[in-house]
Amino acid sequence: MIKFQTIQKVAEDMGVDISYIRTMIKNKDLTAHRKDGYKRIYIDVEELNNSIKPIDENISKIDLEKYLV
């Protein structure tokens, strides 16, 4: 798996707006990385996935086997 991806690619894959990820960087929830000589900002995908949590703890306890999915 790719460890670093651009903001644009991460936003597209997750289905969120780029401004949301930029806000997370500005609030120091995510660390921005750059390659030498390039202007693009890269995000650690594992760090992003670990920072996102469910809104309600009960959501993670739902047994999906009971429902038709």
4-32 confidence digits (pLDDT tens): 999 999 999 988 899 999 999 999 999 99
Residues 6+ away with beta carbon under 8 Å from 55: none
Cα 55 to the center of its chain, rounded Å: 15
Cα 35 to the center of its chain, rounded Å: 19
pTM over 0.75: no
Q: What residue type is 1 in one-letter code? A: M
Amino acid 51: pLDDT: 86
Q: How far apart are CA 47 and CA 63, in angstroms?
A: 27
State which residues form the domain around 26. 4-66
What total of structural domains would you count in the chain? 1
Amino acid 69: pLDDT: 61
